[in-house]
Homo-oligomer: A and B are copies of this chain.
Amino acid sequence: MVKRPTIDDVARAAGVAPSTVSRAFSRPGRVSFETSERIHRVAAELGYRTTSLARALPSGQTSMIALAISDITNPFYNEIIRGAQVAASEAGYTILLADTQESGVRERAALDRAASTVEGIVLATTRMSDSAIRMTAKSRPVIVLNRAVTDVPSVVTDNPRGVRRAVEHLAELGHQRITYLAGPEASWADGMRWRSLLETVTELDLHARRLGPFPPTVAGGARAAAEFAPHPTSAVIAYNDLMAIGAIRALTSMGARIPQEVSVIGFDNIFAAELVTPPLTTVAAPLAAMGRTAVGNLLAIVRGARPSNPAPVTLPCQLVVRRSTAHRRRYRTSPAWATTSVSGSAASASRSTDAGSR
């Protein structure tokens, strides 16, 4: 490993003081043109690069932000990370990644370690408690993604409107009873979606029930399907696309026809949503925009902007109608698969999916 030249090496080679070299790089205009010119030339020859670490120590500006993600294996995050990354690198910032594996404890530990290094933190779908988040927000600027926390700026999608669009779509198709397959209890979005669902359903004079909580994964969706099957409804809204996909697979393997017998709607519009069979009808979140907005707002705060609006920044979402929803059909009796015992194909489908998706 070759030792990188320091500012002193450049100073010596250029015949000036180290402070002059420093200014030549960071204070344009402070140094005369000729001197600055010479310093830059010498620096280039020597291959000098300013060490961000050393620069950060006095100024506190590390040009790094942390991105905490509850489960990096969830494809939900790919586009969000891309959006965040683009916004960050445009501003000259580097992203420090913390995958917390769905554990609030690991999350706190990771942030604790990173807090002194970064200038700000984006918490994407955090599993920490509100008070823990406020705690962290005291030492560093924090933006929360997919969740609203009092006194902490956040970026969320318009869940109420998304739910409403989904329910209206189902209502138009003649569905009257909707089952909601719930995600993790610690998820703010889950509570939000369920409450919005209840409201909308009341307003439109429909019925809703809730099953769960389940893990927000394909396996979780399969488990949910097993609970759903004995007492099915004609329409299902799942906490996210992963669960919707898992539910569709499990139901199909039980013999149910999707969407003819059961209409299924997911959330997020992840990459795989349009690839599965049938292609998934889903409430699309503006994933890249979420990442971009979160980082953008975070950097604004870092640069001294007072977080003027305590209300969450709400990004619009959009119902993407594909093929997992259809007109309700009436049955005289409940379908054959509805009587399938839970220990049967549903459970085994769940198990195989579990193995396959890890």
Contact = CB atoms under 8 A, between A and B. Distances in A.
Given A49-B116, A72-B78, A97-B97, A139 B4 contact: yes
A53 B94 contact: no
A314 interface: no
A357 B89 contact: no
Contacts of A141: 1
Interface in A1-48: 1-2, 4
Given A78-B72, A274-B357, A94 B85 contact: no
A75 interface: yes
Contacts of A245: 275
B274 A356 contact: yes
Contacts of A114: 94
B274 A275 contact: no
A227 interface: no
A277 B274 contact: no
A110 B272 CA distance: 29
B51 A54 contact: no
A95 interface: yes
Nearest to A71: B82
A141 B1 CA distance: 8
A233 B40 CA distance: 59
B1 A52 contact: no
Contact of A272 (B113, B116, B275): B275
B112 A49 contact: yes
A118 to B, nearest CB: 10
Q: Which of A140, A249, A274 has the most CB of B within 10 A?
A: A274
A169 to B, nearest CB: 19
Nearest to A112: B49
Contacts of A249: 275
A168 interface: no
A32 to B, nearest CB: 28
Contacts of A357: 271, 274
Interface in A93-138: 94-99, 101, 106, 110, 112-117, 138
A82 B357 CA distance: 14
A57 interface: yes
Nearest to A95: B97
Given A271-B357, A276-B276, A96 B99 contact: no
Contact of A277 (B52, B112, B277): B277
Contact of A85 (B1, B72, B112, B276): B72
Contact of A117 (B52, B73, B81, B356): B52
A348 interface: no
A199 to B, nearest CB: 31
A151 to B, nearest CB: 14
Nearest to A63: B113
Contacts of A54: 57
Closest 7 CB pairs of A and B: A277-B277, A272-B272, A85-B99, A97-B97, A51-B116, A95-B97, A275-B276
23 contacts: A1-B139, A1-B140, A1-B141, A49-B115, A52-B117, A53-B57, A72-B81, A73-B79, A82-B99, A82-B101, A85-B97, A89-B106, A94-B96, A94-B114, A95-B97, A95-B98, A96-B97, A97-B97, A271-B357, A272-B272, A272-B276, A275-B275, A276-B277
Given A94-B96, A95-B97, 5 more contacts: A2-B139, A78-B78, A82-B99, A96-B97, A275-B276
